[in-house]
Chain A
């Protein structure tokens, strides 16, 4: 706890010295923003609403990445044919940072939202805030860690487990459900954890782009333009806290299913 206190003290020292909230607000100003999460900010809604919008986008994009990434990873890890099929594309796409896709996604999907796709006309619906372009980049950011870790998990299943199952009468389907899947689960969960972290980073960047109208990234950009540095810094702290909570949730799930792996000889 000593380091955060030192950082806060340095921050406070310079804030008092500059005496300019548009450059560096004082710690208590930012803190005051944080303990009033339901106050309307710059006519855009409160913190809770912005967090909710960002989190919903991330959760939808991330689930999409998991739904596509895990089965494809299982196939590519188990069958050489699929591995050969996917590998060249993956090797080219992988080093391409998801943030580099944001302008492309904006150009293609413009500001269409999930609501437009399904033709629903609720003005209050949360789906109104899930832009297809954002969904795409979150999906892209989450997909690779999930996909690659799943492949790794499946291809490192010990042959002795597979053969033991076979001589105990396991069929092909049972082999997949009872051996391959549980054995690669720790690696899959690692992929989910990393993927969720990447998704959360990407969404903040995506929300800073033009056409965005809500979300914690949008709030950062908007408060920057109005020189409301206390809101900006409070938003940054919130991003860190929410990110920690998200990875904490996956970590709990991971620890429960991979307890055996750490102790395996």
Chain B
């Protein structure tokens, strides 16, 4: 039984020139409990829209999202979303940002600070509890955003290119940390990226997305043992293979 079931979702937009854009067309896929799923595709192919629909921030034209075979109405109470950047509340310090989800559940300050502190330690932000977002580097801000999502404690974490704005070194380090956290916390993660390398490094399974309309073009199970070595021949072969699929797709489309 699938944990998450995205069932024949259609979504269109009207752009500024009053043209109809078919963002998602009969999009269907499953995600298993505890799985690390990557959605890979060119920028602007509706990947963000998928996450927004799963989280309940947007409604599909038709089709439905099922969690444990229950339809999602309004905001999805089983998931949370990590945005690409600048989603920390600038008027709150790090610990109050991370404890935000607990505060919304009316958990008292002592308890939520204790809980938030665990995740601050987990993402390596100890000592920055009282710092404000503007005092943090981009990488530290995304660590805090991830900690905030973890502290909210939902099975499913949706991530929309969370490392997209970071430099390569920081990105690689955060990828490793994310994998550790994922294993330790037993979360289900749906991770959107346009970076092939990132998808191979992280995913149990990669869904290669078709662009406009968006649907799953190709599905790929990554069986390489972790920690994955970017320089290993298998990794490189996968990288080349996926690149060809993407290029074919772009040329034919």
Contact = CB atoms under 8 A, between A and B. Distances in A.
B89 A164 contact: yes
Contact of A169 (B77, B132, B134): B77
13 contacts: A158-B86, A160-B86, A165-B100, A167-B80, A168-B148, A169-B77, A178-B100, A178-B103, A178-B104, A183-B89, A261-B90, A263-B90, A264-B134
> Chain B interface mostly helix, strand, loop or mixed?
loop
Contacts of A168: 80, 100-101, 104, 148-149, 152
Nearest to B55: A167
Contacts of A261: 90
The 5 A-B pairs at the shortest CB distance, nearest first, are namely A263-B134, A168-B101, A167-B81, A260-B90, A169-B104
Contacts of A167: 55-57, 75-76, 79-81
A261 B75 CA distance: 29
Given A260-B132, A260-B134, A169 B87 contact: no
A265 B86 contact: yes
Contact of A163 (B57, B77, B134): B57
A179 B152 contact: no
Contacts of A183: 89, 91
A45 interface: no
Interface string A250-265: 0000000100110111
Interface in B154-204: none
For chain A, the bracket of interface size reads 20 to 34
A243 B57 CA distance: 47
Interface residue tally of chain B, by bracket? 20 to 34
Interface of A: 158, 160-161, 163-171, 174, 178-179, 182-183, 185, 257, 260-261, 263-265
Given A164-B87, A260-B91, A261-B90, A170 B104 contact: yes
A260 B76 CA distance: 31
Interface of B: 55-57, 75-77, 79-81, 83, 86-92, 100-101, 103-105, 132-134, 148-149, 152
B90 A264 contact: yes
Contacts of A169: 75, 77, 101, 104-105, 152
A132 B198 CA distance: 69
A161 B87 contact: yes
Contacts of B80: 167-168
Contacts of B57: 163, 166-167
Contacts of B100: 165, 168, 178
B86 to A, nearest CB: 6
B127 to A, nearest CB: 20
Nearest to B106: A174
A195 to B, nearest CB: 22
A263 B79 CA distance: 31
A169 B148 CA distance: 12
B58 to A, nearest CB: 10
A69 B200 CA distance: 55
Contacts of A158: 86
Nearest to A169: B104
A109 B95 CA distance: 54
Contacts of A265: 86, 134
Contacts of A178: 100, 103-104
Nearest to A186: B91
A183 B92 CA distance: 10
A16 B57 CA distance: 75
Contacts of B103: 178
Contacts of A257: 91
Nearest to A168: B101
A261 B83 CA distance: 20
Contacts of B88: 164
A175 to B, nearest CB: 9
A165 B75 CA distance: 11
Nearest to B158: A167
A158 B85 CA distance: 12
